[in-house]
Amino acid sequence: EVFTMFSNSVTNGGKTTLAEKLKKMLPNCDIISQDDFFKPESEVETDERGFKLYDALDALYMDEMVTKIHNWIKSPASSGIVTEEPRTACDNQKNIYILIVEGFLLYSYEPLNELWNRRYFLTLPYEECKRRRSTRVYQPADPPGYFDGHVWPMYLKYKNELEENASMQVVYLDGTKSQEELLSYVYSDIVQELNKLRE
């Protein structure tokens, strides 16, 4: 049996760290990251201000990502997962394979919307998000005004679309909370969902 979950987030919201920690705690768990499917800079559109439009689905090879996810679901046991054997609340879930897909735009992509057992969305307020973004090194580097002119407006656009979609069940997480709090909450939530799946 396969359980798929998705961690979506504003830029620098902590989704990758959360996903990696969950992988260590959950049995038969693997991660697919949206960041691995960015097009090269030369293929990313530029707007009239000269901003590269990275925070848009067109900047990604989404068809390749969909194929990778479907292939994993068809044959999770052959994906090279290394199963650790910690004594956890998941010990009775050994026959379930878990896929965490982490990224920043996946709920806006229709071909993936039917796949998720659980959806999480990490949020951050503007100032904290901008502060964290400023501490990261990107290739290519953010040009002046990029966060306010492209990154933050695109986040608000997609978040508003998500909130307006009544059929989309999403667990919103406060990205200002400690990693320990977020990890504890999401882990407990996943264990509950796995137990329902077994029933």
Residues assigned a catalytic role: 35
Q: Are 102 and 33 in contact (CB under 8 A)?
A: yes
Report CA-CA distances (Å) from 57 to 40, 52, 144. 14, 13, 22
Q: Are 112 and 34 in contact (CB under 8 A)?
A: no
Q: Which helix (H) or strand (E) holds 98?
A: strand 97-103
Q: What is the residue-wise DSSP string for 125-163?
A: -HHHHHHHHHTS--SSPPPTTHIIIIIHHHHHHHHHHHH
